[in-house]
Chains A and B, each alone.
Chain A
Amino acid sequence: MSLLEPTALAWLGILPVLVLLWRTRLRRTPARVSAGFLWERACREARVDSFSKRLQANLLLFLQLLAALALGLALARPSLPVVSGSAAEMALLIDTSASMGARQDGSTRLEVARGQARRLIREAPSGAQILVASCDRSARVLLPFTRDRSAALRALEDLEVREVAADGQAGWALAASLLASRPEVEVFLMGDQPPQTPPPSRLTWIECGGTAANVGLVALRAARDHDGTFPLVVGVRNYGPRPEQRELELRRGGVLLAARRVGLPAGGRQTLRFRLPASGSDLVEARLLGSDALAVDDRAWTVLPRRATLRARVVGPGNLFAERALAAIPGLVLTRSEHPAGEGLAMWQGEVPWPLPPGVHILLHPPAAWRRGERLDQAFTLQPERAPLLNEVPLADLGVAGVTPLNLPPGSEILARAGPHPALALVRQGPATALVLAFDLYRSDLPLSPALPLLFANLVESELGGGRGPVDPESVPGQPLEIRTMEPVWVQGPDTSVRLASEAGRAILPDPDRTGVYQVRVGEKAWPVAMNMLDPRESDLATRRPAPRRARPGPAPTSSSQRSGVAEFWPWLAGAGLLALLAEWLVDQRRRRPERPQDRTP
C-alpha cells in the first residue's frame, strides 16, 4: 500500500488535539444531591467502574478519533497496486522455481500467483485467448492460446513448484517472443524475482510474496584425505533480517554423526568443519532442524569421493613409454588383454579392429582406414592446438618423427600438428572415442617430458570421469543428468524411477526437478548422485525491487489496454469517517435525550 498524498497525514495531528479537548471537557459539572449513598449503590449495581462502562463513557471520544483517523487517512489517498486483465490475448507466465514454494501466512508464493492468475482469467473479457506457461530454469507452455477458460484454470491447478533455480532470462525470453509475435498480447509475469531490466509496456510484473525469514544451507563439500578420512565443510547462511538459531544435524548413511547449534546474525553466514572417518557409508546428509519459510534449502547431501578404480587394457605388444605413462595415473590398473572389447580404456599397439569397438581407445598406430601414405622420416616440431584435452600438457617445441599422414574422418579434433600433418587427434566415431598418435613414440621427445602422462590423465578425466564412475556424484536440479555408459541405466530419484537407454555412450535424465539422492544403477553397480538446491538466489526471500518501467513516448494507452494501476480506497475511508461522525452524533443525541422515566412513585 502506498500513499499518493503523504503530506496529508499531517491532518492526523488533530488526534491529540481531540484528546486534549476531551480531557478539558471532562471537567464535570458539580451537582448537589441529597442521597449520595443511593448513587453509590446505583453505580455499584450499574458497574460504572467496569471496563465496558468506561469504554461506553469514552465512546464519543473513540468515535471522534475514529472519524478523524479515517478522514485523515482518506486525505492521504492510500492506494494499492492492482492489475486487471482486459486484453483480447493474455499470456500468464508463472514462476515455478524453488523459491515459489516459500510459505508465508499459510500459503505458498505459487498459490498466491495462482490466485492472481485465476483473478486475471475471471476478469478477462469474453472471447479472450489465454496462454498459461511456467518458467523456472526454462520456460514451458502448459496451455497454448485458448478461449477455454476452464482449461486455463485446470492448467493453473496443474502447476507445481519445481525444486530448481530460476533462470530469469527463460521467462523473459518467452515473454519477449510473445510480445514480438503477437501485437495484441498482454503478458503477465508472476513470480518473486522481478526482471532486472525495465519491462516493456505490455508486460506486467506481478510480485507474489514479500520478504520472509529463511535460513538455508549454502555449501556441503567433502574431500578425501591421504589417511582415508574425509574433511567435510558445511555452510549455513541466514537470509533473514533477524538473528537466528538453528540446529544442524549431520548423518552418514542415515546414522547421526554430529549435531550442532548454529547461531547466525542477520544476513550472516557460518562455515562448520567436520572430519568423517574412513569407514562407513559414502552418503552424507546435512539437515537444518526447525522450520522456516523455505524447506528445500534445509537439506543437502554429498557423496564422499571414492577411491578411483579404472582398468586399462593393453592390446598387442604394447609400448613401454605409453604403459609407464598410463601406470602413473592414480588408481589405474593396467592389464594385458587380447580381447578387443571391454569397459574402461584400451591402448592399442599395432593393428586396430575396424570399426572401433565402443569405448575409449589410445591408438599408438593409426588404423589403415585413415592412413594417406607411408610414414615420413622427416622430423617435425609439434604445434599444439587450443583444446581442453591439452590443458597443462607441455607439447610445444617437442620433436617427433615417423609421422603417418592421415585422412581423419569428419568430426575429428586435431590436437597437435607435425608440420602440415595431424600428429595428435581425438576422433569420435559412434560410441567409440580414440586418441590417435600419428607418429612413432620411440622417435619423439614425448617420453622425455611429462606431456605424455598428463595427456593420458586428461583423457581419462574427460572421457571416463577420472575413474569415479559413469556419473558425477553431485548435480543440481534442473540440469540434465548425464551418465557415461554403454548399457541401459535405471535411475531412481526421490519421486522418479526411470529406465534410460544409452545413446552414443551416454544416457541422459533430462530434467530432474527434485532435490535428494538419485541412485544410478548400471548393471549390478550403483552410484549415488546428490542433487542439491544450494542457490542463494532461491534461498534469499527478501523482496527485490523491479527495474522501473521506462516511460515510452507516444500516445497514452487506451482504456482497453490499461492493465495495471492503483486502486484508491479513500472514498471508503471517507465514508467510514462520515459514518463514525454520524454514529457519534447519534450516541450524543441519545445521551442528551435519555428515555424519560415513567413517574413511578415508590
Chain B
Amino acid sequence: MGSLLEPEFLAWLERLRVLAGRTPTSSGPGENRSPARGRSAEFSEHRDYRPGDDFRHIDWRAWGRLDRLFLKVFVEERDRTLSILLDSSASMGAGGPGAPEEGAKFDQARRLAAALAWVGLGDLNRVGLGLVRDHLVQWHSPVRGRPHALELFRLLESARPEGRTDLTTAFRQYAARSKSPGRVVVISDFLQPGAGIEALRLLRYRGEELLVVQVLHPTELAPQAVGDLRLVDVETGSAREVTLDARLLEAYRKSLQNLCDELSAWCHTQRCSRILVRSDADLQPALLQLLRRGGLVR
C-alpha cells in the first residue's frame, strides 16, 4: 500500500482543499457549518415560542418590547463525516476475458479510497471506511486527523477481493452502524444485476449524499479475447462455453453500456455524482476529476 501513495502523490493531495460536503452532517460538533439549528455563537433567526422549547433561548428583550415570546435560533456547527465504502468482492479482483493481470481493478479502487481518506482527514473531516461484499465485512468508525490515516491504510492493505457481492445487505448493515447520514463514497464495479441501484437507493433514502465511483478493467470495457472460451464467473462459479466473435462482443458491450447507463441515469435523477475510473488510468487526473465532480475540492 505504501507504494500506492508515493510522497509526490501525497504532496499533491496536500494542495487540495477538501470539502466534506455542501450540507455536512455529523453527530458531534465540528468546524463546518450545518443547516441544522442548534447551539453555537452565530445567530440565525427568531421564531415563535412553542411549548416545550428551551426557556434558555427565549429572547427576553424582545418579550419586553413586544410582549410576545420569541425564540432565538442559532446555526449549529458540526463535523463533516465522509464514509468510504469499498466493494471488496471477488469481481473487483477480476476483469474481462483475457485480462492480463488480476487485481488491477481492486488496486485502483483502494488507491482511490486511500487518497480520498487522506484528503478527507487532512481537512479535519471525520472519515469512516467500510469493506463490503455480501455483507459489511469491516467497518472502521469515522476518525478525525491525519494520525488516524495509517489505521485506514492498514485496513485497505489487508483487504482482499473475494466472496460474492450483495450491496443491499452490506449497506443496510452500514446504515445500522453509522450514526447519522453524511457523505458516502461508494467504490465498486457495480457489475451486478440492477447495477446496485437498490442498495444505493437505501443510502439515498437515509439522506446520505452519494458519490458513486465505478471502477472497471479495460478488458471489461473492451474484451480482447476471441475464440472458444469457457467463461467462469468469479463470484458464482457458474460457467458458460462461448465462441467469442465480433457479434457476441458487440452484444456484451451493449449489455455493459445498458448497465452503466442505468446507473448513470439513476444517479442523475438523484443528483448524485457518478464517475467511471478505468483500472489502468492515471490516478491523479482520475482523483482530481473525482474530487471536482464530487464537489470535494473548492
Contact = CB atoms under 8 A, between A and B. Distances in A.
Do A and B share a complex?
yes
Interface of A: 25-26, 28-43, 45-46, 48, 56-57, 591-592, 594-595, 597, 599-602
Contacts of B23: none
B255 A26 contact: no
12 contacts: A26-B228, A33-B97, A36-B238, A38-B191, A38-B259, A39-B242, A41-B255, A42-B251, A43-B251, A594-B226, A602-B261, A602-B264
Contacts of B278: 601
Given A40-B240, A48-B242, A602-B261, A34 B234 contact: yes
Interface residues of B, number: 57
Contact of A37 (B192, B241, B248, B253): B192
Contacts of A46: 247-248, 250-251
The 7 closest A-B pairs by CB, nearest first: A36-B233, A602-B260, A35-B191, A42-B251, A34-B91, A31-B97, A42-B252
A63 to B, nearest CB: 15
B254 interface: yes
Nearest to B236: A36
Contact of A32 (B94, B227, B251, B264): B94
Contact of B230 (A29, A45, A48): A29
A34 B95 CA distance: 5
A24 to B, nearest CB: 12
Interface of B: 90-92, 94-99, 102, 105, 189, 191-193, 217, 220-222, 225-236, 238-257, 259-261, 264, 276, 278
Contacts of A597: 222, 249-250, 253
A26 B242 CA distance: 11
Contacts of A45: 251, 254-255
A35 B219 CA distance: 11
A424 to B, nearest CB: 104
B69 to A, nearest CB: 59
Contacts of B238: 36
A30 B229 contact: yes
Given A26-B228, A592-B227, A602-B276, A39 B220 contact: no
A26 B241 CA distance: 10
B251 A34 contact: no
Contacts of A601: 221, 276, 278
Nearest to A31: B97
Contact of B257 (A39, A40, A602): A602
Contacts of B191: 34-35, 38
A59 to B, nearest CB: 10
A44 to B, nearest CB: 8
Contacts of A56: 245
A35 B91 contact: yes
B234 A39 contact: no
Contacts of B96: 33-34
Contact of A38 (B92, B105, B226, B255): B255
A599 B224 CA distance: 12
A597 B250 CA distance: 8
A45 B230 CA distance: 18
A595 B246 contact: yes
